[in-house]
């Protein structure tokens, strides 16, 4: 794992109030629907996007520049 990602995950784990969200079957079905709009995103990236929609999250920490094309989402990690 890249040092920046490892450090980031360590920091996240240090927040006791951090809410974690499990992937649901509905997220996977939504990811399949999102392929029509975001075909450049891999399936699991679309699952993350579905989870973000479900949880009202508008920011993502990712190296994947395809997230830059997703309306309403701001990507970090240049």
Looking at the domain assignment, is residue 68 inside a domain?
yes
Structure tokens at 27: 């997220």
Looking at the domain assignment, is residue 8 inside a domain?
no
Looking at the domain assignment, is residue 14 inside a domain?
no
> Residue 13: is its pLDDT beyond 90?
no
Looking at the domain assignment, is residue 61 inside a domain?
yes
Alpha-carbon distance of 5 to 22, in angstroms, equals 20
Looking at the domain assignment, is residue 7 inside a domain?
no
Looking at the domain assignment, is residue 16 inside a domain?
no
Structure tokens at 67: 């997230």
Alpha-carbon distance of 23 to 4, in angstroms, equals 24
pLDDT digits (tens, 9 = 90+) for 48-67: 999 999 999 999 999 999 99
The whole domain housing 69 covers: 21-76
Number of domains in the chain: 1
Looking at the domain assignment, is residue 3 inside a domain?
no
Distances (CA, A) of 54 to 8, 10, 26, 31, 78: 23, 25, 10, 12, 25
Maximum separation of any 2 CA atoms in the chain, in Å? 37
Mean pLDDT of the chain: 91
Provide the pLDDT confidence category of residue 1 given band limits of 50, 70 and 90.
low
pTM for the model: 0.77
């Amino acid at each position: 794992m890249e040092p920046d990602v490892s450090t980031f995950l360590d920091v996240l784990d240090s927040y006791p109030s951090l809410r974690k969200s499990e992937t649901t079957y509905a997220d996977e079905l939504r990811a399949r629907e999102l392929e029509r709009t975001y075909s450049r995103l891999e399936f699991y990236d679309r699952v993350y996007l579905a989870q973000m929609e479900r949880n009202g999250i508008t920011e993502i920490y990712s190296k994947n520049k395809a997230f830059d094309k997703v309306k309403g989402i701001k990507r970090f990690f240049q």
